[in-house]
Amino acid sequence: MAKRCDKHNDSSQMQKILQPDVTDRSGQEEKHKQGPEAKCDATDKADQASPCSSKPPCAGVERGREEKRDERVWKQREEATDSCCLLEDLRRLPPSRVTPERLSFGETHTVLVDVGLFNSGGGVQAQQGRDMWHSNFVKLPCSPSSWMNKTILKIHTSQVKRWEVISKALERLAKKKTVMVDNVEEAIMEYNPKYKGQWSFDALSSFVKCIPEAENYSPALLPKIAALASRLHEHVKKAIPLLQRGRTASITLSQVQISCLLANAFYCTFPHRNTSAPNAEYHSYPTINFNSLFGQWSVRKKEKLRAIMHYFKTVTDDNSKPRGLVTFERHCLKDTDTPKWRSCEETMPKLHVTSDGRIETEGTGMLQVDFACNLIGGGVLSSGLVQEEILFLMNPELIVSRLFTEKLGDNECLIIKGSQQFSCYSGFSDSFEWAGPHDDRLTRAKRECGRLHRQILAIDALRYRHRREQYSMLQVTRELNKAFCGFKAYGQSDPDIATGKWGCGAFNGDPQLKAVIQLMAAAVAKKGMAFFTFEDEMFKECLQQMYCLLAAQGITVGNLYGLLEDYCAIKQTADVELFQFIRSNLPKSLL
């Protein structure tokens, strides 16, 4: 039986790479989970942008990076064929701008900092505004419209403003030199009495007991987080709109505002956000309060909390807290902008394929694909710990997007510009480990208070319980439109795409099909692409060979769409790989 393209193979076997094979490589399916976020928790090794490497991008690796640079360039030149390009040939954001771009707001862009002050060089301050207790806005814990029932002397119940209860509890913690987990639990239950006896804090308690104080946690950190959370009304003075389904809109916040919002998430202060039941007000939004992270101790939870605590240690220190801006953009692809794939005449875009490196390192300055869940962040606050969750842990500012981003539709994406990386890591899933602080040396786009040159594109692939479900043109077209929505959203003259095996882990996507889909979307969006196979040398060679054939023949996106239609029809009765099918249907002169 012929060797498969996604398995190791040596050069003597290359003639067999694209031969038909009926081997079932779907592997074992992960146990189906219940609940709206559970599906996003399980993504395996193949569905990650970087965790295949066990070496963290910190001290040891940084020391060897200079010496390996020339070696990497030569290897890239060897990888680049007549049609493939070098990684350095792809567009990235420029390291600096000669003329600083002015910050502006508009009907679809809400800015929560004082724009006039920022543009005049006066720094970052909260924009004045008013509270909105409305279904189109985040219901903040400090809102005057937020009330709760409080029992007095165990016999009398009355309504009180919830922020009064929250602020007193937080200020009580903030005044302490050290705070124990029991104190944290007592405070949280004071303004979340409904969940007393339901929420567990054993993971947080176990973490505190097993982590050395010298690392990134000390009993003095919890009071600092409480103090930061208690100043929400000072840092956020304007209503935060929800990024709702079907509407293109964006929000810009300061990194200080984000840290304050995440401190409130840590202390579980956000109202109406503790259930995902179908009849709940925020059932179509991810969870944001950290209660699910604090319970059900596991090694995964320990490593997650190491990353989270390091973030809070950094942002509560006046000497290290960041002072820039981050923008969250939801893009909705209009029906009128959706390509007519069958008639698209674009040919293959620039492509660099490599089995080395990571999207977030070698793809620096490019539009980096987050293999997302439609509920943004997936299982970052629960048990999930692969590509998207790891990305959110290394860049915890991404977690705040869960506060205001509704579940992504089939024609939508989310782009986050300017988030900061705070940590390094190694491994993935059960082998994931927090590997120390990361010194983010990216330049900022606008003055020293602007956004960092990091752009993350969240696009969610379809999840298939059975692999055969994806061989339908309805499914293929959905994935084409999703990828195109994300690739096009940034504009034609801006950075190229850094991606990989999108949706090919527990989501059961076919790597060959997903690679072709992304190539087609990139071509129509007029973007080049860097494709990271995450140490899968065989798939790199297969994709490279297939791309070279397509490019040399001048195959158009429309041609490929027609081939996919034929392939999906044949796939119903025959088990043939996509690359082999395409090769068999190209002109014989290229074979």
Among 486, 499, 448, 439, smallest CA distance to 48 is for 499
Tokens encoding 37: 């976020």
Tokens encoding 581: 């099918």
Of the residues 79, 114, 360, 389, only one is catalytic, namely 389
Half-sphere exposure of 456 (CA within 13 A, CB side): 32
Q: What is the rounded distance in angstroms from the CA atom of residue 206 to the CA atom of residue 326?
A: 33
Contacts of 213 (CB under 8 A, 6+ apart): 219
Q: How many CB atoms lie within 10 A of CB 3?
A: 17
Which H or E element spans position 265? helix 255-266
Q: What is the rounded distance in angstroms from the CA atom of residue 50 to the CA atom of residue 432?
A: 11
Q: Residue type for 552, please? A: A
Q: What is the rounded distance in angstroms from the CA atom of residue 554 to the CA atom of residue 311?
A: 49
Q: What is the rounded distance in angstroms from the CA atom of residue 138 to the CA atom of residue 127?
A: 16
Of the residues 21, 329, 362, 388, only one is catalytic, namely 388
Q: Is 535 an annotated catalytic residue?
A: no
Q: What is the rounded distance in angstroms from the CA atom of residue 6 to the CA atom of residue 19?
A: 13
Among 274, 288, 315, 306, smallest CA distance to 203 is for 306
Q: Is residue 253 helix, strand or coil? A: strand
Which of 177-192 are b and which e, b meaning 16 or more Cβ less than 10 Å from the residue's Cβ?
A: eebebebbbebbbbbb
Q: Is 234 an annotated catalytic residue?
A: no
Whether the CB-CB separation of 91 and 496 falls below 8 Å is answered with: yes
Of the residues 6, 37, 360, 370, only one is catalytic, namely 370
Residues in a beta bridge with 455: 367, 417
Task: Please name the residue that has the structure tokens 């070496």.
Answer: 55
Distances 187 to 98, 144, 472, 479, 482 between C-alpha atoms, Å: 50, 20, 52, 45, 43
Whether the CB-CB separation of 345 and 558 falls below 8 Å is answered with: yes
Q: Is 388 an annotated catalytic residue?
A: yes
Among 562, 539, 479, 467, smallest CA distance to 509 is for 467
The DSSP letter of residue 15 is G
Contacts of 103 (CB under 8 A, 6+ apart): 111, 113, 115, 118, 119, 252, 325, 446
Tokens encoding 536: 């899968």
Q: Which residues are catalytic?
A: 370, 388-389
